[in-house]
Structure 1
């Protein structure tokens, strides 16, 4: 009789270990460092004074921003084409120590003029600098849209943080370069606005703000546009992959002027597994439509060998996955021309901050606007544990 009892005790031990074995197996297949944003909360705005100057340079045109956690400073690139001053980026302090942002808490610190490889300033009209991303080598990568109308190529260059001098240039695939025939390459002022580097500093990403000429139409009212995300390997500074990013269609509102513009002005790498925040911005005739999306490259097709999307059946191409996180029009905020975003420091409650910044176009009717958010980031491990243990609150 005791033997029979012992036989029936053995399976109970197995039942105890089965859930543990299942969890271990699941975790072994999960990309532990991959992240997902589970919530986003607006925590304030600040606006720089109009016509504010620093070092005899007007502050404006801030199209991209990146954060240096080591010294709690931000670097913001100006898209001034040399009309107000030489190509440059600004160093800013943004005070989030109280867990929110308010006017007076964004302080410009310095101006760094960009110098070419010969140590000279760039000529007026030679650059249209839009994106900026910090490395771990006391340098920043900066992207320029160039000028397609004048056949000035876009570029992605690395500059010293301290001197502003050019250190390296990344090669741009030919399909992105404008030609005399006007049948290929970037569209004017719709090129490399975005720039981001993965946390492990191994890959850099940029994207066209709108479609290449040979890929499709530019964004119009109620019509999106097929952008290309371009991936670089920073171990050899070579381009290696491209992905299709389709922007959302946006309806204009009271567009009495008939002017409309829409596109992808910035990307932000969240991890090393191909997850991003994307910023889509549209001028709708009456104000701006700004949206934040979570983006994943998982399952999307590499299109770097396709020179023209119009020359293939693009319906068979799997674009990147997108999920709307926030339509900023739902906030009680008068939005300006938001073009840049970056992660900031951890807030007092331990949550991650996010900063957005606007390009005022050096227009007196516009503002240099900084918006702050609190985002909750979860790894697959935390999401799995939350499902298994609903009361878990890490």
Structure 2
């Protein structure tokens, strides 16, 4: 009888042992920190009062936002070109402690003026600061779109978090710089809106909001635009790779104003393997269209050696892969000019929070709007276990 029991017990142990080996092998051959958003849920909206004055500055133009987990604070960059006050970023408290965002849940707590390498404020119209990303050195990188009409170059600079003092400047590849001929470089107000740093703090990414002049057309009704994602190695401060990002064609709906704008205002790194959230924003004449995408660079071609996409047959270039995560028009919310996004803290239920912020353009008809979401983020191991054990989440 004992022999019969052993005969039945041994295969179970062997099967378990084999299963552990297979799972371990698959896990060790996957990028363990590569993630995927499996669900996203809206958890609240807040707006700042119109014309809010804080420490002698008007709070507005919030075009990018980043989160400091150490002190549970957010830093939001204003794109004021020095018309209301000097270039600056705001420190905000956003209360998600109850698992949602209430209407009064956002409070400015500080403002930091940016200082150039000479310890002076930037001159009016010298900057168009749009993106902000926190490092692990008590500094932030900030991107400026420049002004191609005045041949003012875009920049990506590192500033002290405490004093706003410029520390370093990253070099911008020549293909992005405007020239006198008007045949090269960024388009005005369609340059480096986005900025994000990978969790390991080794790489920084930015992107053009629309195509470089020599790469293709700016976005038009029903026509997308070929943007470039630019990757920097923060260990040496040098640009390394570039990738093609094609924005979605957008159809205007009842465009009575005749105005149309569409592009890529922000990216958010989810891991160290080239997975992001991207934000696409369009003004269609009757409000704003906002979409969130999951983005992967894994299969994309590096195009840093190509100075002009129009000079080659770029149909053969593999662009970044993207998948629609959320079309915000499905929310019961009147959307404003959403331009920035960042991960926030873990919520009480353990899920990851996500914050979006709008640029009100210092326009009395617009709002500084903050939207909050919670996301379920899964690693490859969890996805593998779900396939092997369908009842895992039941």
TM range (shorter): over 0.9
* TM-score, normalised relative to structure 2: 0.97
Question: Post-superposition shift, 1:19?
Answer: 2.7
1:193 equivalent to 2:188? Answer no
2-side partners of 1:102 and 1:289: how far apart?
23
Question: Post-superposition shift, 1:393?
Answer: 3.4
Would the alpha carbon gap of residues 75 and 258 (structure 1) be closer, same or farther in structure 2, given more than 3 Å must change?
A: same
Residue 171 of structure 1 corresponds to which residue in structure 2? 171
**Which string of whole-angstrom CA distances, capped at 9 and with x for unpartnered residues, describes residues 142-164 of structure 1?**
00000000000000000001110
1:31 equivalent to 2:14? Answer no
1-side partners of 2:33 and 2:94: how far apart?
28
Question: Post-superposition shift, 1:27?
Answer: 1.3
User: Number of residue pairs matched?
Assistant: 393
1:233 equivalent to 2:213? Answer no
Residue 203 of structure 1 corresponds to which residue in structure 2? 203
Question: Post-superposition shift, 1:390?
Answer: 1.8
Residue 353 of structure 2 corresponds to which residue in structure 1? 353
* TM-score, normalised relative to structure 1: 0.97
- 1:136-285 mapped onto 2 (5 Å cutoff): 136-285=136-285
- 1:1-394 mapped onto 2 (5 Å cutoff): 15-393=15-393
Question: Post-superposition shift, 1:16?
Answer: 4.8
2-side partners of 1:134 and 1:9: how far apart?
55
Would the alpha carbon gap of residues 57 and 13 (structure 1) be closer, same or farther in structure 2, given more than 3 Å must change?
A: closer
Question: Post-superposition shift, 1:20?
Answer: 2.8
Residue 364 of structure 2 aligns to a residue in which SS?
coil
**Which string of whole-angstrom CA distances, capped at 9 and with x for unpartnered residues, describes residues 279-304 of structure 1?**
00000010000000000000110000
2-side partners of 1:391 and 1:100: how far apart?
29
Question: Post-superposition shift, 1:18?
Answer: 3.2
Question: Post-superposition shift, 1:25?
Answer: 1.9
2-side partners of 1:137 and 1:69: how far apart?
13
Residue 77 of structure 2 aligns to a residue in which SS?
strand
2-side partners of 1:137 and 1:356: how far apart?
24
Question: Post-superposition shift, 1:391?
Answer: 2.3
Would the alpha carbon gap of residues 180 and 16 (structure 1) be closer, same or farther in structure 2, given more than 3 Å must change?
A: same
Would the alpha carbon gap of residues 376 and 119 (structure 1) be closer, same or farther in structure 2, given more than 3 Å must change?
A: same
Residue 267 of structure 2 aligns to a residue in which SS?
strand
| Unpaired runs of at least 5, structure 1 | none
Would the alpha carbon gap of residues 16 and 52 (structure 1) be closer, same or farther in structure 2, given more than 3 Å must change?
A: closer
Q: For structure 1, which segment, 106-115 or 7-16, has the greater mean C-alpha deviation from structure 2 after superposition?
A: 7-16
1-side partners of 2:69 and 2:7: how far apart?
60
2-side partners of 1:64 and 1:323: how far apart?
22
| Unpaired runs of at least 5, structure 2 | none
Residue 329 of structure 1 aligns to a residue in which SS?
helix
1-side partners of 2:194 and 2:257: how far apart?
28
2-side partners of 1:9 and 1:170: how far apart?
63
1-side partners of 2:15 and 2:278: how far apart?
45
2-side partners of 1:206 and 1:274: how far apart?
13
2-side partners of 1:254 and 1:16: how far apart?
61
1-side partners of 2:100 and 2:131: how far apart?
25
Residue 381 of structure 1 aligns to a residue in which SS?
helix
Question: Post-superposition shift, 1:28?
Answer: 1.9
- Stretches (4+) displaced over 6 A: 6-13
Question: Post-superposition shift, 1:392?
Answer: 1.8
